[in-house]
A and B are shown apart, each in its own frame.
Chain A
Amino acid sequence: MTGSGIATVARQEFRLRIRAGRWRLLLASWFGVLLLFTGLLRAAVGGYNDNDITDKGVVLYGGLMLFVLGLALLVVPALAAQSVNGDRERGTLATLQVTRLTAADIALGKFAAAWGTALVFLALTLPLVAYAITQKGVPLSRTLVVTLVLAALLGTVCAVSLALSAVLSRTTTSGVLAYLAVFALTLGTLITFGLVTAMTTETYTQTYSNACPTDLPADLPDAQRAEILAQCGQPQTSTSSRARTDRTWWLLAPNPFVVLADAAPRLPEETAEQRRAREEREARGEYQQSARDLDPLGSIGNAVRDLRRPPADDNTGGGTAVLSSRVEERKPVWPYGLAFDVLLGAGALLLTTRRLRTPARNLPKGQRVA
């Protein structure tokens, strides 16, 4: 495997792609759809007056990135799903394999071309991202991390599609399976999580006691007063059922949407200065809604982190102090998901390389060498 070998293959693939497809049309429609989405989303969070809602960028950016991921998952499998078996069909693969390019050169070169094309699509969203950022509230760290994670996720999809094209001899089969693989990662993880979680449902018994009230109304009838005083202070039990998502959360982790949302750094806390400014405005009677509360990335991320949390066994009456300490217990889910997805992609590239290795000992049924 050599860098120049990979570059030779990647350049060639890229050139062939550019000449074969109607790229201008494809890229224009991609951008058009995203532009339309951004426009509609902007109108939806707009309010009557520009000053009604602050930090609109949070909603715009988060919504846009989730939408980009969804749309990219529809486009990207097609970029690599017929790469190897298509070359086999056209008889061009064997003529590459007899050159001094290694199997890894060919596999990684093809991957680089597919991933590079996916990144071109991603780069086209930058003007819209820039616009979302001008709408305030999006920290730079969030845009950096989200972009990197998006790129990595698209790489995984390219690698898996490429491996399918190397393993299966028919281009239609690998094309369909590439989309099924994306389906498995997105809806599949969600469905599996739902079904498996249902099986973990357990009943549990809770013991609790209420403190005796000291400020009962003076006009309360004696009978009632006696009843309340008799029950308070006594331990009581109640039985209910709950799903143990702390045992199944990892089924959701590889979901690209979960990885992306949870990896996005959370919005910074309100600074003392911002709080003072807000309180002053509120004292004057000017209320502003903040789009921070609608953060799409953060809320998905927090939701999956909450799933990961084991249930508290002695739920002895809530209280804000308890609740906030529980929030800090939220542990991230995305490192597991991203690691899984990246390893999946790496494994797919390894498999592709193995399938491209010549001289070949075993050929899959129906597969010709040349």
Chain B
Amino acid sequence: MTDTLEHAGSGIVATGVRRAFGDVEAVRGIDLTAAPAEVTALVGPNGAGKTTLLLVLATLLVPDAGHVRVAGYDPVHEPDEVRARMGWSPDVFGLYDNLTATEYLTFVGEAYRLGRARARSRAAELLEQIRLPEYADRPVHTMSRGQKQRLGMARALVHDPEVLLLDEPASGLDPRSRVELRELLRALARSGTAVVVSSHLLGDLEELADRVVFVDGGATVGEHRLDQLPTSTAARPWRLRALDTDKLVKALARQGYDADPPTPAGVDVWLVSDEAAAELIAALVRDGVPVVACQPLGGALEAAYLELTT
């Protein structure tokens, strides 16, 4: 424990991670860094190797190659040091249906060697934090999907980890639960936790993540701060709405823009850049079209995702 200071707040560093299952190489060169006090999004198509990478970081799988440090420790040779500082929530609930929420979290606390009394008080704390105090004495099988998801999250937080790994935490959650999850993760990051989230919900990630790591085919294909995403040169859809849709469609046709047929939501136009959008709005206003909205469809993250992955 003498080197606690040296290790403190070191987040995750993984370079050149490889892992095969038999003949299938699930991960063949993923790099990922996740700094403390930041949310790092892990994004990529299904089968890109995200879950396998998280299993390596969570001390469950030995990588075939690569350098990995989680909270400053080697998950292969110092798994107990890593486990004491890392929380992991898999893409399945993995809960025991017949236990109450308090019993379950107390058990996990004991498994993290908090001691019975501390584990019990920590369980109560966490149930407040994930807003499930009314489920303290109710069995898990009476909970909704979103509630189970939050309980699974609380399980990963029992020992107040420095590093939090979440595999698709928001899949199947209703909008309110997703907003709450986002707020919880932001709060954890503010308090210094290094959070890694794998997810397909790019809209959510855009409001949540500080950094994003794109993986595809088992390898890292891009690693960016969210405010410095690579700008795409390909045309993206922008959605226009006007008080008079007919007038808008005619004006677009007159000016030779490539527009999709109008829908109740508006008219989608394919534009290559923000400048092109500004130009279009100016032209429409000059033409006397009563424009009320012009916004890119899908965020910058989605654009970057489509650009970087296949």
Contact = CB atoms under 8 A, between A and B. Distances in A.
B112 interface: yes
A95 interface: yes
A360 B83 contact: no
A365 interface: yes
Interface string A1-28: 0001100110010011001100000000
A284 interface: no
B221 interface: no
B107 A359 contact: no
Nearest to B63: A359
Contacts of A95: 88, 90, 94, 108, 155
A363 interface: yes
Interface string A346-370: 0000000000001111010100011
Interface in B70-92: 75-76, 79-80, 83-84, 86, 88, 90, 92
Given A12-B107, A359-B75, A98 B83 contact: yes
B99 interface: yes
B154 to A, nearest CB: 12
Interface residues of B, number: 33
Interface string A231-266: 000000000000000000000000000000000000
B280 interface: no
Nearest to A365: B22
A82 to B, nearest CB: 15
Contacts of A4: 110, 113
A100 B94 contact: no
B113 A100 contact: yes
A98 B58 contact: yes
B83 A99 contact: yes
Contacts of B112: 99-100
B220 interface: no
Residue of B21, B22, B93, B110 with highest tally of chain A CB at under 10 A: B110
Contacts of B90: 91, 94-95, 370
Interface string A77-103: 000000000000011101111111110
Q: Is the interface of B mostly helix, strand, loop or mixed?
A: loop
A16 B94 contact: no
B130 interface: no
B184 interface: no
Contacts of A100: 80, 83-84, 111-113
Given A15-B103, A98-B88, A359-B76, A370 B55 contact: yes
A14 to B, nearest CB: 12
Contacts, number: 80
Nearest to A92: B94
A9 B60 CA distance: 19
B243 interface: no
Given A99-B111, A100-B84, A370-B90, A16 B60 contact: no
A321 B282 CA distance: 125
Given A91-B90, A95-B94, A369 B61 contact: yes
Contacts of A20: 98
Interface string B251-294: 00000000000000000000000000000000000000000000
B21 A363 contact: yes
Given A100-B80, A100-B83, A360-B62, A19 B111 contact: no
A19 B99 CA distance: 8
A16 B99 contact: yes
B98 A370 contact: no
Contacts of A99: 83, 108, 111-112
Contacts of B98: 16, 19-20
Contacts of A360: 60-62
Contacts of A361: 62
A370 B83 contact: no
B59 interface: yes
A97 B90 CA distance: 12
Interface in A174-223: none
A100 B61 CA distance: 16
B303 to A, nearest CB: 32
B27 to A, nearest CB: 13
B113 A370 contact: no
A9 to B, nearest CB: 8
A102 B59 CA distance: 12
Contacts of A19: 98-99
Contacts of B96: 16, 92
Contacts of A358: 59-61, 79
Contacts of A92: 94-96
Interface in A50-74: none
Contacts of A96: 111
B118 to A, nearest CB: 13
A12 B62 CA distance: 28
Nearest to A357: B79
B92 A370 contact: yes
A369 B167 CA distance: 14
Interface in A315-370: 358-361, 363, 365, 369-370
A344 B96 CA distance: 31
A54 to B, nearest CB: 52
A96 B107 CA distance: 10
B107 A97 contact: no
Given A12-B107, A369-B55, A97 B60 contact: yes
Given A100-B80, A370-B90, A359 B59 contact: yes
Interface of B: 21-22, 55-56, 58-62, 75-76, 79-80, 83-84, 86, 88, 90, 92-96, 98-99, 103, 107-108, 110-113, 155
Given A98-B86, A99-B83, 4 more contacts: A9-B111, A94-B90, A100-B83, A358-B59
18 contacts: A4-B113, A8-B107, A19-B98, A19-B99, A92-B95, A94-B94, A95-B88, A95-B155, A96-B111, A97-B59, A98-B60, A98-B83, A102-B80, A358-B79, A363-B21, A365-B22, A369-B60, A370-B90
